[in-house]
Amino acid sequence: MTTTEHDQDAGATSTRYHYTRVVEIAGRTVRARVERGVYLNDSGAVAEVLTDQAKWSSLAADTLNNWWHDTPPPSPDVHAAAVLGPLAERLLHRAAEILAAPPPTVTLSPHVYRAVSALLATSSGFNAECRIDPDDIAWAANHGGALHIFEHPDGGVSFTKAHRDECPFVASKGAQDCDDECYFDLPHRA
């Protein structure tokens, strides 16, 4: 988790102690607030994100039974940051997981898109239409090698599942020949 520290605050009295930490995660301002009171209903642990409307919105919370009984009762002598800091850190890690960017999407170049059109046309006819069901997609993903797509300098495009990732053909994007060590079990369809 990469964070930029913005602020933190801690304090303790005879009736409560608290720790607040504000950081930046993935370009968002996130606050972890932990408060330990004399009673359960005076306590809480939450991670919040600052919305575009400048309001705090809850991202994650930790139930009191996970930590309240393991912390000392309020006292001016409690070092709040030391006691509550690890809980705040866990909340910030959970917030980071929630805010993590989704995996990048793959965008096909117009040339590769046209090559997919050519693949459909040459395998099923120039006015072809083909629907691939989710079960077929899952089956294909689990059999053979990973799909590799290479654009060649001459304008050609290779689509292959016949090579392992370490194969010279794959590593060179089609410039070298296969080392003939790409073996996959022949799948059987049920």
- Are both 35 and 94 inside the same structural domain? yes
- Are both 19 and 83 inside the same structural domain? yes
- Are both 31 and 63 inside the same structural domain? yes
Assessment of whether the complete model's pTM goes beyond 0.85: no
Q: How do residues 47-99 score in pLDDT, each as one tens digit?
A: 999 988 899 999 999 999 999 999 999 999 999 999 999 999 999 999 999 88
Q: How do residues 1-39 score in pLDDT, each as one tens digit?
A: 677 899 999 999 999 999 999 999 988 999 999 999 999
- Are both 9 and 74 inside the same structural domain? yes
pLDDT of residue 22: 97
- Are both 16 and 85 inside the same structural domain? yes
Query: Count of domains in the chain?
Result: 2
- Are both 63 and 140 inside the same structural domain? no
Give the residues across from 48 on adjacent strands.
31, 58
Coarse DSSP helix, strand, coil percentages of the chain, rounded to the nearest 5 percent: 30, 25, 45
Residue 164 falls within a domain, yes or no? yes
- Are both 114 and 95 inside the same structural domain? no
- Are both 122 and 85 inside the same structural domain? no
Non-local (6+) Cβ contacts of 33 within 8 A are 18, 19, 20, 44, 45, 46, 47, 48, 88
Q: In which domain, by residue range, is 25 found?
A: 3-99
Mean pLDDT, the chain, integer: 87
- Are both 114 and 93 inside the same structural domain? no
- Are both 25 and 93 inside the same structural domain? yes
% the chain with pLDDT above 70: 94
Split at pLDDT 50, 70, 90, the class of 190 is low
| Separation of alpha carbons 60 and 166, rounded Å | 41
Torsion of CA 164, 167, 170, 174, to 10 degrees: -130
Question: How many C-beta atoms surround the C-beta of residue 145 within 10 A?
Answer: 16
Asked whether residue 180 carries a pLDDT value surpassing 90, the answer given is: no
- Are both 69 and 136 inside the same structural domain? no
